[in-house]
Amino acid sequence: MSFDAHQLDSVLLLGSVVTLLAILAVRVSSRAGLPSLLIYLLMGVLLGESFFGIDFDNAEVAHALGFAALVLILAEGGLTTNWREIRPHMRMGCSLATLGIAVSVALMALGAHFVLGLPWELAVLLGAVCSPTDAAAVFSVLRVVPLPRRITGALEAESGLNDAPTVVLVTLVSTGAIDDHGIVAMLGIIAFELVAGTLIGLAVGFGGAWVMRRAALPSSGLYPLAILCLTVIAYAAGAAVHASGFAAVYVAALVLGNTDLPHRAATKSFSEGVAWLAQIGLFVMLGLLLSPERITLANVGTAILAGLILTVVARPLSVLASAVVMPMPWRDLAFISWAGLRGAVPIVLTTIPLAEGVDGSERLFDIVFVMVVIYTLLTGPTLPVVARSLKVARRSEPRDLDVEAAPLERIAADLLQIKVSPVSRLHGVEVGELRLPPGASVALVIREGESLVPERRTVLRRGDEMLVVTPRKLRLLTEERLRQVSLGGRLAQWLGSDRAERPEHP
């Protein structure tokens, strides 16, 4: 197959137009409270052979490109995750990603076989591909719902960790390894791959951080590239020794993202842009892979019933079982059950049996595709209503501090940008009353579009934006102090931390 410059021109034109439209569609989807994946999938279907005429039915290529996109998406998830915030909730996240996955797969397989009439192989595959949640789908919707960290931390940890065991399980089932080795051996293989992948991720993460702290690269733009390469190395190294590459890439990215490295803000922004590009390409490609003429009423009915089993039975019971390691209020568990959005991950996982030529794999792909679309449309827009009904949504309060690295090469400093929200108790507090750690200071206050250099007696007002410069080693203490005053007012130092936690509840 030849490929010349004229074809390149056409590909670049079409690709750039589709990408630009997909980027602009993010605004539309966020306002509607829908994950952008639905728009991207629709774009792929419209570009396909049934409408625009692009013929794409290569399952092997889709499998390979889908995994490549997931690597970049998981890398961005680890690099942008705040370990300090999710650490208290990692037990619940790990439980959801292991015990919860096992319970969900078992219940879905039983329901798919006895209720939907699928053969056991397809039933287990359906349970395995539908059980993991999708980080991109979950957080594109949760951004508009103010939730306490105990819920967002659990959901974030789950979505980052649950891809690894399900990829291993789907691969073993699709290749017939269960028949060759048995269930006990399969469980041992999964455990080995997860543990080995985690260890490889830790090694690459800490080793890469050691190298990057000592590397004096000539351009700041090289640091994000180098760090993203390290995360991909973790995946490739894990896959090379038959460990879980997905566990390795997420753990390595989590370590690198929470290590004191140069140009962290640039790295975060770069990884977010790359992840968005990967998501757009992934969803459009999966839409291309779908043939609308295969979507029969029987497949739609099966998808609806499978989604009901997952949403009403498998997901709630898996969340309940996972809470054994970390009991939570029933309202929190109910919301976590409803917020388990499926996105690209289940559809990508169906490309594994497609590539392996498993009998009925095309039907499995169509069922999962339809189920993801229908239940994302059902679940996504209702999350704010469900959060308010269960009384787990917080009142609008100050956003987390946005941190940007100051362009000061000789001193390690961070620039914190804080906006005083309408309910923040920073309102009425004098700058001197903030009592920031020694070395940290409020450099600028922006009020109604005008900037002013504050004095100790300058009083903060609602809507103000502050720029706070702090030595990097004191950044966490500075953030904590600002949050305390925002939640407890000028007396936060004497009210203690308990008062600061109260605004998480209505």
pLDDT digits over 348-396, tens only?
899 999 888 888 888 999 999 999 888 888 887 788 888 888 888 765 4
Residue 61 has pLDDT above 50, yes or no: yes
Q: Are 198 and 247 in contact (CB under 8 A)?
A: yes
What is d(CA 423, CA 487) in angstroms, rounded to the nearest whole number? 9
Domain hosting 473: range is 402-504
Query: Residues 49, 124: one domain?
Result: yes
pLDDT for 148:
81
3-state secondary structure 59-94: HHHHHHHHHHHHHHHHHHHHHCCCHHHHHHHHHHHH
If DSSP codes are grouped into helix, strand and coil, which group holds residue 179?
A: helix
CA angle at residue 280 from 355 to 304, to 5 degrees? 65
Residue 278 has pLDDT above 80, yes or no: yes
Most confident region among 308-312, 399-403, 458-462 by mean pLDDT: 308-312
Q: Note whether residue 249 is domain-resident.
A: no
Q: Are 478 and 422 in contact (CB under 8 A)?
A: no
Q: Note whether residue 291 is domain-resident.
A: yes
Q: Note whether residue 267 is domain-resident.
A: no
Please report the sign of the dihedral spanned by the C-alpha atoms of residue 390, residue 395, residue 397, residue 402: positive
Query: Considering 332, 356, 389, which residue would you say is the last residue of a domain?
Result: 389
What DSSP state is assigned to residue 381? G
User: Band of the pLDDT at 344, cuts 50, 70, 90?
Assistant: confident
Residue 406 has pLDDT above 60, yes or no: no
Query: Considering 368, 389, 410, which residue would you say is the last residue of a domain?
Result: 389
Query: Considering 389, 414, 447, which residue would you say is the last residue of a domain?
Result: 389
Query: Residues 384, 417: one domain?
Result: no
Q: Note whether residue 106 is domain-resident.
A: yes
Q: Note whether residue 242 is domain-resident.
A: no
Q: pLDDT, tens digit, for every residue of 282-339?
A: 888 888 888 877 888 888 999 999 999 999 999 999 999 999 998 899 999 999 999 8
Chain mean position to CA 42: 21
pLDDT for 334:
93
Q: Are 292 and 45 in contact (CB under 8 A)?
A: yes
Higher pLDDT, 239 or 340: 239
What is d(CA 481, CA 418) in angstroms, rounded to the nearest whole number? 12
Q: Are 300 and 306 in contact (CB under 8 A)?
A: no
Q: Note whether residue 270 is domain-resident.
A: no
Question: For the domain that residue 453 is a member of, what is the CATH number?
Answer: 3.30.70.1450
pLDDT for 393:
73
Mean pLDDT of the chain: 82
Q: pLDDT, tens digit, for every residue of 79-110?
A: 888 888 788 888 998 999 899 999 999 999 99
Q: Are 277 and 69 in contact (CB under 8 A)?
A: no
Query: Residues 80, 143: one domain?
Result: yes
What is d(CA 393, CA 139) in angstroms, rounded to the nearest whole number? 15
Query: Residues 372, 433: one domain?
Result: no
Q: Note whether residue 252 is domain-resident.
A: no
User: Band of the pLDDT at 30, cuts 50, 70, 90?
Assistant: low
Query: Residues 378, 408: one domain?
Result: no
Query: Residues 349, 416: one domain?
Result: no
Query: Residues 368, 319: one domain?
Result: yes
User: Per mean pLDDT, which range of 23-32, 99-108, 224-233, 289-298 is the poorest?
Assistant: 23-32
Q: pLDDT, tens digit, for every residue of 105-138?
A: 999 999 999 999 999 999 999 999 999 887 666 6
Query: Residues 31, 155: one domain?
Result: yes
496: left (phi over 0), alpha (psi -120 to 50) or beta: left
User: Band of the pLDDT at 179, cuts 50, 70, 90?
Assistant: low
pLDDT for 292:
79
Mean pLDDT of 204-217: 87
Chain mean position to CA 475: 25
Domain count, the chain: 2
User: Band of the pLDDT at 1, cuts 50, 70, 90?
Assistant: low
Q: Note whether residue 93 is domain-resident.
A: yes
Question: For the domain that residue 331 is a member of, what is the CATH number?
Answer: 1.20.1530.20
pLDDT for 149:
79
Residue 31 has pLDDT above 80, yes or no: no
Residue 500 has pLDDT above 90, yes or no: no
Mean pLDDT of 165-170: 88
pLDDT for 343:
74
Q: Which of 276, 278, 245 is nearest to 139 (CA)?
A: 276
Chain mean position to CA 57: 28
Query: Residues 427, 358: one domain?
Result: no
Query: Residues 26, 65: one domain?
Result: yes
What is d(CA 236, CA 489) in angstroms, rounded to the nearest whole number? 49
Query: Residues 155, 17: one domain?
Result: yes
Query: Residues 407, 341: one domain?
Result: no
Mean pLDDT of 445-451: 85
pLDDT for 86:
83
What is d(CA 151, CA 155) in angstroms, rounded to the nearest whole number? 6
CA angle at residue 130 from 198 to 45, to 5 degrees? 110
The values of phi and psi at residue 441, to 5°, are: -155, 155
